[in-house]
């Protein structure tokens, strides 16, 4: 093909393209595509400044070799994402991103007001802040961090109950350490439980989520947070279109409680709720074949004292229709201690409205945190606050395998996290074959160790025994 032929083909192509785009219908579609692109760009500019990178370091055993017979503690760096919810420096991320961390840093990639805008594609790395862990909630896999800063960009939480399957959502974060990434997908499913008995529910999305996205926000078209990206199902280790985010309504509850109290208090009204089936309805002569029935009302609990009875059919919880037992459990899971809820119920031929107070769950492992103070209960070598196991607390910890020990009540994130594998509610009753009978006993035993010594704690967790080992630094 010579130059003249090439020139004619080029001119012909231009004319064909011009004729195509000159068609009003085609031009209108191009306009819509351009508007959509601009909307996505605007969304990214709105959201990205409030999305941070979270870097943490924790200690873990590092085996030197099969024949050495010894292990060492080495620092394990990890990274994830987070989102700023308050201009004063309050940040939400996943608990597993910072669990057991000795140090936590946050990188904020934005230009403060007043600085000249940078037009280069390669942006500055951002400012690095030391972060304090205000609290961790392992049931929801959420944590709240605090950095010393003011005037930060922040995002608002949406109402996740308004989210519907098929809606567009956008995942922001730092997948595989690639900071400030942005992907798009849809809501694949709402209220997804990972196990049948799991009280926690998730938003399922096909927006690409990879390791490092954990703790970053899932965003709606308005730039509001509808969830916190938490985990993926994957056979390859990377995104396969099955990602899960903690719904914003649960995030809001956890965030506010940790911000105010340093921990999450779980509520209950003392009932066992079940889904009504057609067979159940026929056998019990119920007026409907669907909904929620109370299989049990625990004696002496708040529901019992309020007048609820086994066999009551729950119509609404705070005017929200209840369609099945799982929905009722999920909605009561979010209730706050002291809150009064209104239940509309059917009992026989009667329709009743009953107000029930929410009380603290008796088996909540976090319930010991309010009973300790750093002045009296801190074990600095472990970074833990503990209580002596006595006659007052034994009834709260059924199936104990020992009648002595100390109860892990809370963590102190200002000290080394050698006790990072311990959970609130665990009972330490032995260290290196020495029984631990109380606060004095554990302090005396730990004072014997010097740097490099092996420490092995024998622990009772929900009636099961285990060893937790580390080297004293």
Give yes or no: 96 in active site: yes
Give yes or no: 141 in active site: yes
What token pair was written down for 9?
């083909």
User: Distance of CA 361 to CAs 129, 199, 279, 335, 371, Å?
Assistant: 36, 13, 32, 11, 16
Which residue among 56, 78, 79, 96 is the active-site one?
Answer: 96
User: Distance of CA 389 to CAs 327, 395, 423, 426, 427, Å?
Assistant: 37, 10, 16, 11, 8
Q: How far apart are CA 160 and CA 248, in angstroms?
A: 5
The DSSP-derived string for 301-363 is SHHHHHT--TTPEEEEETTEE--SHHHHHHHHHTPPTT-EEEEEEEETTEEEEEEEE-EE-TT
Give yes or no: 214 in active site: yes
Q: How far apart are CA 461 and CA 428, in angstroms?
A: 9
Q: How far apart are CA 243 and CA 188, in angstroms?
A: 9
Q: How far apart are CA 257 and CA 280, in angstroms?
A: 39
First-to-last alpha carbon distance for the chain, in angstroms, is 77
Which residue among 214, 239, 248, 420 is the active-site one?
Answer: 214
State the CB neighbour count (10 A cutoff) for residue 440.
10
CA atoms within 13 A of residue 56's CA, in its CB half-sphere:
31
Active-site residues: which are they? 96, 141, 214
């Amino acid at each position: 093909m010579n130059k003249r032929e090439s020139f004619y083909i080029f001119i012909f192509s231009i004319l064909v393209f011009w004729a195509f785009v000159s068609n009003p219908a085609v031009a209108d579609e191009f306009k819509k595509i351009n508007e959509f692109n601009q909307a996505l760009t605007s969304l990214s500019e709105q959201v990205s400044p409030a999305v941070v990178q979270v870097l943490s370091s924790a200690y873990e055993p590092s085996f030197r070799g099969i024949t050495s017979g010894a292990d060492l503690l080495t620092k394990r760096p990890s990274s994830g994402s987070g989102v700023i919810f308050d201009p004063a420096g309050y940040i939400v991320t996943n608990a597993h991103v910072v669990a057991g961390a000795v140090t936590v840093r946050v990188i904020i990639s934005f230009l403060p007001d007043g600085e000249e805008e940078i037009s280069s594609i390669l942006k500055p790395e951002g400012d690095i802040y030391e972060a304090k862990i205000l609290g961790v909630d392992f049931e929801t896999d959420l944590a709240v961090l605090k950095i010393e800063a003011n005037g930060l960009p922040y995002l608002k939480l949406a109402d996740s109950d308004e989210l519907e399957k098929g809606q567009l959502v956008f995942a922001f974060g730092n997948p595989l350490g690639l900071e400030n990434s942005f992907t798009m997908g849809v809501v694949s499913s709402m209220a997804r439980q990972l196990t049948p008995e799991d009280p926690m529910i998730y938003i399922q999305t096909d927006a690409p989520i990879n390791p490092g996205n954990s703790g970053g926000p899932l965003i709606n078209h308005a730039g509001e947070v509808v969830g916190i990206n938490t985990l993926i199902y994957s056979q390859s280790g990377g995104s396969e279109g099955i990602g899960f985010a903690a719904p914003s309504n649960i995030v809001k509850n956890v965030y506010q409680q940790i911000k105010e109290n340093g921990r999450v208090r779980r509520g209950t009204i003392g009932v066992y709720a079940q889904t009504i089936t057609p067979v159940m309805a026929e056998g019990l002569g119920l007026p409907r074949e669907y909904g929620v029935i109370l299989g049990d009302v625990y004696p002496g609990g708040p529901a019992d004292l309020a007048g609820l009875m086994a066999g009551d059919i729950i119509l609404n919880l705070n005017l929200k229709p209840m369609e099945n037992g799982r929905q009722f459990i999920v909605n009561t899971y979010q209730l706050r201690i002291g809150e009064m809820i209104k239940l509309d119920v059917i009992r026989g031929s009667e329709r009743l409205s009953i107000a029930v107070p929410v009380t603290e769950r008796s088996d909540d492992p976090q319930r010991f945190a309010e009973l300790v103070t750093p002045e009296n209960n801190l074990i600095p070598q472990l970074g833990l606050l503990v209580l002596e196991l006595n006659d007052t607390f034994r009834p709260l910890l059924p199936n104990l395998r020992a009648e002595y020990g100390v109860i892990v009540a809370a963590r102190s994130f200002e000290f080394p996290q050698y006790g990072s594998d311990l959970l609130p509610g665990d009972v330490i009753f032995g260290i290196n074959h020495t029984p631990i009978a109380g606060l004095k006993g554990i302090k005396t035993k730990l004072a014997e160790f010097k740097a490099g010594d092996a420490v092995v704690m024998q622990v009772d967790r929900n009636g099961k025994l285990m060893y937790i080992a580390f080297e004293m630094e």
